[in-house]
Amino acid sequence: MGSQPRDVLVSLLETPSPSGYETRGQRVWIDYVSQFADEVRTDAYGNAIAVHEGDSNGPEIALTGHADEIGFIVRSIDDDGFLNVGRIGGSDPSVARGQHVTVHAEDGPVEGVIGQTAIHLREDDDEPEISDLWIDIGAEDEEEAAERVAVGDPITFSSSVAWLSETRLAARGIDNRVGTWIAAEAFRRAVESGTDATVYAVSTVQEEVGTKGAKMVGFDLEPDAVVVVDVGHAVDYPSAPSEKTSQMELGGGPALGRGSTNHPVLFDALQTVADDEEIDVQVEALGLGTGTDADSFFTAAGAIPSQVVSVPNRYMHTPVEVVDTEDLEDIADLLGSFASSAHEFTPFSVNL
């Protein structure tokens, strides 16, 4: 991985971007893709689209990831200055207690901790509910807390990027800043190849709260095909419930979704490109939908052939998600090559 792409990846991961509050992260992404795009445009909610203008008779291909991460939101402030919180997306209360957090207030970040009763004083260890959580920002009372934070301020865990080895990193928000990074990198590779296709790199908002951004973008773009990059469950760790999902592992390469939303012609096309480029792939069975932006893209404008490619990810929706950057590079290579050769696989439609 080159130094600039690596720096951009780290910057994306370290820039808070909870659903509904993605502006800062989108600026990082836009600054990067603007270097090799013919145009970058945004909409009213902050979806960002980089455009490479190809031949007018060529296919239009969209490569997408979502910019937002899970988090919390200040729901109220109690009389003693503690913050009561609500969810942003699928935040997990069971990993929240005892964590450092940052409240992203109007006047700047406010540091806090999610309290936890000491083990010596607890009578049981039941799974907590979101209503059981509180944040301590060191305030004496409600008035003091309200001078620093406001109801509706977003909150993220304070964890940063940690390189566990040369290629494996841990961070919060890997779901799905790695997807937007791959979309940008695959776009760059396609542009540098001189592809005749019109290629879009897309960074959507509000996926974690219902794939809202994809519904907006899909209606606006109407491409010939969409490849959505998101994370999938790697189950190559002790006690992993491997019976609940496909057998995905870190370093095993891109995981191609098969079933439901995933278009069979796109699936076959990506497998063909992977074989040609000697990229190992995994297959992820997705019989009831993908749980990703693809579920909104594929019906946004009637019928858009859509395909999910998953990044193997350990410990999803925790502050310590783990991926292998070799998988990120392989997916960027795969999608860049696919966009460059998309004309070989058109039209993207099933034979009846």
CB 232 within 8 A of CB 244: no
For residue 47, count other CB atoms closer than 10 A to its CB: 26
Alpha-carbon span 87 to 317, nearest angstrom: 12
**CATH, range 3-69+172-344:** 3.40.630.10
Nearest to 9 by CA among 315, 331, 236, 252: 331
Q: Mean pLDDT in the chain? A: 96
**CATH, range 71-157:** 2.40.30.40
Which segments are annotated as binding site? 66, 175, 208, 230, 317
pTM of the model: 0.96
| The pLDDT of residue 125 is above 80 | no
Residue 55 phi, psi dihedral angles, 5° rounding:
-65, 140
| The pLDDT of residue 205 is above 80 | yes
Positions marked active-site: 207
**Which tens digit of pLDDT belongs to each residue from 38-82?**
999 999 999 999 999 999 999 999 999 999 999 999 999 999 999
Which segments are annotated as binding site for Zn(2+)? 66, 175, 208, 230, 317
Domains 3-69+172-344 and 71-157 share a fold: no
| Alpha-carbon distance values, 54 to 36, 187, 219, 273 (Å) | 13, 12, 21, 20
CB 334 within 8 A of CB 280: no
**Which tens digit of pLDDT belongs to each residue from 272-314?**
999 999 999 999 999 999 999 999 999 988 899 999 999 999 9
Nearest to 15 by CA among 5, 25, 4: 25
Domains of the chain: which residue ranges? 3-69+172-344, 71-157
| The pLDDT of residue 124 is above 80 | no
- Higher-pLDDT residue of 216 and 220 is 216
Alpha-carbon span 246 to 236, nearest angstrom: 11
